[in-house]
């Protein structure tokens, strides 16, 4: 975990320096590094303050329904996982957030270790995937995203079935991967693949590099590069973004590697410094409830409650071959793996 903490510090420093100059969203909607609220009276006394990594449309829909259900207002800061972590670090002496939602699980593990999370058992906890949640209620992976081979349906008539297929000459200089230094889910996949396959994984990445694999920024620009046809395939594409783009008529689809892939639980947790703990508990109950989980499913993410998986046009969790891994073990090695990958891509 110390290694991961170092990585987070580096990430936060980068975010603080660059946030004023650019915004690189992880989600499938328009990114934002500004606060949004359904009430603009400036008084946050009775408001829940939520820091959330998208997709923005899902966050907005959940907040709207939660406000309607409770009669309480929610003030929202939407940004990438890195931007949220940077803002939390900057506000550590004067914390403002009550609930945090991220796109990748390791940061939640780090916050738990540091004693920054208020544990709470949600009402629906027994229906949620056990390996997505903390048994003592410190965090809840209330949604998840699987990573796959996103491809342009106009350019690719016979989509790749596995990562090794991308080493074929027909994909020369037409493949990319989201940058693990910018995308938490890309770092998850990289760490998990190396953990499972060891030197075989590194040999595969080297072969992909030799075939012209490029870094395509965070998840959204990586997907846009496929939609525009700049790349034929992106390895490590976030599935819910692809499904949403496909539903809008974009020429894109996704396949999951037959050898296995990573599924990233997207955690939500209450900060110990929260000034509105009872309202925060109600929000946690909502996002993990049947209504909240239906909204997760409606936005093409994988719900933590498997009974909510009903959305057509996307794969179900049971249909995706997933690598086996332990998040705590992976978090300890993420910095080392990222450093080696960065050196490989130079």
pLDDT in tens, 42-68: 445 689 999 999 899 999 999 999 999
Q: Maximum CA pair distance of the chain?
A: 60
Beta strands in 87-156 (DSSP E): 99-101, 117-118, 140-152
The residue-averaged pLDDT of 139-156 equals 97
**Lowest-confidence pick of 4-18, 87-101, 165-179, 257-271:** 4-18
Judge if 248 and 307 occupy the same domain: no
Does residue 186 lie in a domain region? yes
Predicted confidence band of residue 89 (pLDDT cuts 50, 70, 90) = very high
DSSP label at residue 163: G
Say whether both 205 and 276 belong to one domain. no
Is residue 58 a contact partner of residue 299, using CB atoms and an 8 Å limit? yes
Separation of alpha carbons 7 and 88, rounded Å: 16
**Is 81 found in the same domain as 147?**
no
- Annotated binding-site positions for Fe cation: 240
Q: 334 pLDDT band (50/70/90 cuts)?
A: confident
Tell me: do 167 and 133 sit in the same domain.
Answer: no
Gap between the Cα atoms of 235 and 207, Å rounded: 13
Averaged pLDDT, 214-220: 94
List residues bridging with 100 in a β-sheet: 51, 269
**Domain around 78:** 45-142+264-313
- Whether pLDDT at 11 is above 60: no
Domain containing residue 105: CATH number: 3.40.190.10
pLDDT for 187 beyond 50: yes
* 183 and 281 co-located in one domain: no
Site of tokens 């960065």: 342
| H or E, element range at 56 | helix 56-70
Mean pLDDT, rounded, of the chain = 88
Q: Which whole number is the average pLDDT over 204-210?
A: 98
Binding-site members are 240
Residues 77 and 49 in one domain: yes
Q: Total structural domains in the chain?
A: 2
Same domain, 127 and 274: yes
154 or 17, greater pLDDT: 154
Which of 51, 48, 52 is CA-nearest to residue 27? 52
**CB within 8 A of 176, min separation 6: which ones?**
213, 214, 215, 216, 222, 225, 231, 233, 234, 235
Is residue 294 domain-resident? Answer: yes
9/138: higher pLDDT: 138
């Amino acid at each position: 975990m110390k290694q991961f903490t170092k990585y987070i510090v580096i990430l936060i420093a980068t975010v603080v320096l660059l946030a004023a100059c650019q915004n690189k969203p992880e989600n499938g909607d328009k990114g934002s590094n500004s606060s949004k609220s359904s009430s603009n009276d400036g008084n946050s006394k009775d408001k829940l303050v939520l820091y959330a990594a998208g997709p923005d449309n899902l966050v907005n829909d959940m907040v709207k329904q939660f406000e309607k259900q409770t009669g309480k207002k929610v003030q929202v800061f939407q940004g990438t996982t890195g931007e949220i972590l940077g803002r939390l670090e900057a506000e550590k002496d004067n914390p403002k957030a009550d609930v945090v939602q991220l796109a990748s699980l390791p940061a939640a593990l780090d916050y738990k270790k540091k004693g920054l999370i208020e544990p709470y058992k949600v009402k629906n906890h027994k229906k949620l995937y056990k390996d997505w949640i903390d048994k003592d209620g410190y965090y809840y992976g209330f949604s998840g995203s699987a990573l796959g081979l996103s491809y342009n349906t106009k350019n690719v008539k016979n989509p790749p079935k596995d990562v090794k297929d991308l080493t074929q000459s027909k994909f020369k200089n037409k493949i990319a991967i989201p940058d693990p230094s910018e995308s938490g889910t890309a770092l998850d996949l990289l760490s998990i693949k190396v953990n499972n396959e060891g030197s075989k994984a590194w040999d595969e990445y080297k072969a992909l590099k030799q075939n012209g694999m490029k870094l395509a920024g965070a998840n959204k620009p990586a997907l846009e590069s496929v939609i525009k046809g700049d790349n034929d395939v992106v390895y490590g594409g976030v599935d819910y973004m692809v499904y949403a783009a496909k539903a809008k008529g974009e020429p894109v689809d996704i396949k999951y590697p037959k050898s296995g892939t990573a599924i990233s639980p997207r955690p939500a947790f209450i900060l110990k410094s929260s000034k509105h703990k009872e309202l925060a508990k109600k929000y946690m109950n909502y996002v993990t409830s049947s209504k909240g989980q239906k909204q997760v499913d409606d936005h093409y993410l994988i719900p933590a409650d498997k009974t909510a998986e009903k959305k057509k046009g996307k794969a179900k969790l049971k249909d995706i071959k997933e690598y086996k891994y332990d998040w705590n073990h992976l978090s300890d090695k993420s910095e080392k793996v990222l450093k080696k990958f960065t050196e490989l891509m130079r």
